[in-house]
Amino acid sequence: MGIGATAGVAAAGGFALSANASGKSAAKSSDALVFDKDGYTELTTTITDADGHDKEVVYHFWKAITYVTNPVDEKYQSLKVSVPVKIDGKAVDATDAPIVFANSVGGYMPSSVADATGVGGGMTGAPTGGASGSATPSASASSSSGTGEVQSGGNAMLNGQGEMVNLGKLGLAAGYVVVEPGARGRTLTDSDGNYYGTAPAAIVDLKAAVRYVRANKGVIPGDTDRIVSTGTSAGGALSSLLGASGDSRVYDSYLKELGAAEASDAIFATGAWCPITDLEHADGAYEWNWGTNVTQSTGKAVDQAVSKELRSQFAEYQASLRLRGLNGFGPLTARNYDEYMVKQYLEPSATKYLTDLSDSDRASYLAANTFITWSGGRATFSWADFLTHVGARKKTTPAFDAFDLSTGENNEFGKDKTQARHFTAYSLKNDTTGATGKRLESDIPEKLNLMNPMYHLKEHNPSRSKHWWIRLGTKDSDTSLTISANLAAAVADLGDDVNHLYYWDEGHGSNIDPADFITWIAKVTGYKKRATK
């Protein structure tokens, strides 16, 4: 793949935009992609910062700006910008601050900032899963953890105390510039019934939004070379993909059609919470991880024969990745991944959790969880006991490409008037809906690559983000725990800086260390907040 060809950023207002899809010259409307630096309103809000302190933040707010010249649906293809000017009465200059690029995608659903009146609060508001967008039993059932469980991704993250975490707001309170993009999602249909938000619409839109920001270097406040992307679940997947696929040419035709700015779409750093990614390999990974947990949280037992077949697919896939585990673990395979998970992630996660408890809380936790050996300030346990501890799995089998085409992911790979399609040969073979054909539809392999960060990492994309923050709850059975670990191993293998932790006993959508993330942004970008006089 061609890399770096678009790295040169056109000066604002000077874009060489081609004719758009409707045949009109985009020259006139290219002005639409110039950031109107005076077009803000000044707002004041109180934000409880990442350390739990209330801060009064005065900021400049730009409401919904369309980020392409030839939008399919402006309601989704627009972004909002928030720039702090005063924090707790002290003027701040965010001219060179990192830009937190916070998507609010959840469930691969549409996300819009069109009606937003200030920073944060972006929600897709829709339940995850379900081809029709309605909650399926598998999507609506909560895991057994009872902690950190949320229905939609994006900004809908919860901290350990069950409070909402909004990284846009936290970024603003830390003195960073915050850009919050909307993006098309899988359920959108036009008046003819054509699906226009399915793959790869969401990633194309996010890239177009990044290009808009970078094309406005020097006009939009913030350091456009220090964009830090964030997202959760499907939004975490898209954030990872944005990081992995920077400046990849495989999106060019899509971006051109939208009239995206001629600028780099590479981002500096990636934050991803519980990314639901590597979709075409996730069914096998799910069964490798949760397959022995035969009962779903609905109380139904899953098909063990299917589970076993999928597990063997994981072994083959994992071997093909040729990844090495972090800290000199060596080749990661289906045979040693349990040991890797326990040693690299799960025991350290439990150890931290237990260390942070009071003596009496620790004693009660250990009394209730005798599978953990606590010795010398360290927790040890087996993978099998860990799986029993997590208990019922969230999803049925296959978890992602359902035989009956009922998952959100089936819808994500819908096309034209077809709401949901198969995207793995195995599920096509076992289809129960009468879907025709022995082969996957011809556009599917390319769409899968367009949606998968692992594809870009395998290609060693040199314009990928080089800093990675990845988080996942240990009780999150929305996907396999190996999905994040493989992502981390892949970028570490390429020499990137990875900060990957699992949150002990947390479920889907948790973010229990937002303050650390805010600090991490300053560290990796080298930014020191400057106060104006």
| Min separation Cβ 282 and ligand DHB, Å | 8
Of the candidate residues 209, 269, 276, 448, the single one contacting ligand DHB (CB under 6 A): 276
| Min separation Cβ 358 and ligand DHB, Å | 33
Of 9-17, 95-103, 105-113, 200-208, which part binds ligand DHB (CB under 6 A)? 105-113
| Min separation Cβ 108 and ligand DHB, Å | 6
Which amino acid makes up residue 316?
Answer: E
* 107 counts as binding ligand DHB under rule CB under 6 A: yes
Of 103-111, 347-355, 358-366, 429-437, which part binds ligand DHB (CB under 6 A)? 103-111
Tell me the Cα Rg of the chain: 22
| Min separation Cβ 148 and ligand DHB, Å | 12
Q: Are 143 and 475 in contact (CB under 8 A)?
A: yes
Q: Where are the beta strands (DSSP E) in 340-475?
A: 373-375, 378-380, 467-473
* 129 counts as binding ligand DHB under rule CB under 6 A: yes
Phi and psi torsions of 43, nearest 5° = -125, 155
Q: Nearest 5°: CA angle at 383, between 377 and 386?
A: 70
* 233 counts as binding ligand DHB under rule CB under 6 A: yes
* 136 counts as binding ligand DHB under rule CB under 6 A: no
* 234 counts as binding ligand DHB under rule CB under 6 A: yes
Report the alpha-carbon distance of residue 486 to residue 384 in Å, rounded: 20
* 408 counts as binding ligand DHB under rule CB under 6 A: yes
Query: Between residues 148 and 153, which has the closer beta carbon with respect to ligand DHB?
Result: 153
Q: Report the candidate in 528, 30, 432, 483 with the shortest Cα–Cα distance to residue 273.
A: 483
DSSP per position, 85-114: EEETTEEB--TT--EEEE----TT--B--T
| Site of tokens 């793995």 | 424
* 202 counts as binding ligand DHB under rule CB under 6 A: no
H/E stretch holding 316: helix 304-321
| Min separation Cβ 477 and ligand DHB, Å | 9
Pairing of strands 54-66, 324-325: unpaired
* Site mask for ligand DHB (CB under 6 A), range 409-448, x = bound: x---------------------------------------
Q: Are 15 and 6 in contact (CB under 8 A)?
A: no
* 148 counts as binding ligand DHB under rule CB under 6 A: no
Query: Between residues 98 and 153, which has the closer beta carbon with respect to ligand DHB?
Result: 153
Query: Between residues 255 and 272, which has the closer beta carbon with respect to ligand DHB?
Result: 272
Query: Between residues 144 and 461, which has the closer beta carbon with respect to ligand DHB?
Result: 144
* 231 counts as binding ligand DHB under rule CB under 6 A: no
Q: Where are the beta strands (DSSP E) in 21-106?
A: 41-48, 54-66, 78-87, 90-91, 99-102
Report the alpha-carbon distance of residue 466 to residue 194 in Å, rounded: 38
Of 81-89, 104-112, 200-208, 218-226, which part binds ligand DHB (CB under 6 A)? 104-112
* 106 counts as binding ligand DHB under rule CB under 6 A: yes
Phi and psi torsions of 179, nearest 5° = -115, 125
Report the alpha-carbon distance of residue 483 to residue 481 in Å, rounded: 5
Which amino acid makes up residue 75?
Answer: K
Residues 6+ apart with CB under 8 A from 376: none
Question: Helix, strand or coil for residue 208?
Answer: helix
| Min separation Cβ 34 and ligand DHB, Å | 33
Query: Between residues 215 and 276, which has the closer beta carbon with respect to ligand DHB?
Result: 276
Question: Helix, strand or coil for residue 229?
Answer: strand
Query: Between residues 66 and 396, which has the closer beta carbon with respect to ligand DHB?
Result: 396
| Min separation Cβ 106 and ligand DHB, Å | 4
Query: Between residues 106 and 398, which has the closer beta carbon with respect to ligand DHB?
Result: 106
Strand partners, 295: 301
Query: Between residues 223 and 476, which has the closer beta carbon with respect to ligand DHB?
Result: 476
Query: Between residues 476 and 493, which has the closer beta carbon with respect to ligand DHB?
Result: 476
In sign, the C-alpha dihedral spanning 486, 156, 521, 34 is positive
Which residue's CB atom is positioned nearest to ligand DHB? 233
Strand partners, 272: 231, 470
* Residue 523: how many other CB atoms lie within 10 Å: 13
Both tokens assigned to 77: 């293809």
| Min separation Cβ 236 and ligand DHB, Å | 8
* 197 counts as binding ligand DHB under rule CB under 6 A: no
Report the alpha-carbon distance of residue 261 to residue 246 in Å, rounded: 15
Of 75-83, 102-110, 313-321, 377-385, which part binds ligand DHB (CB under 6 A)? 102-110
Give the binding-site size for ligand DHB (rule: CB under 6 A): 13
Q: Report the candidate in 355, 310, 314, 309 with the shortest Cα–Cα distance to residue 336.
A: 314
* Site mask for ligand DHB (CB under 6 A), range 456-495, x = bound: ----------------------x-----------------
Query: Which residues form the interface with ligand DHB (CB under 6 A)?
Result: 106-108, 128-129, 152-153, 233-234, 276, 408-409, 478
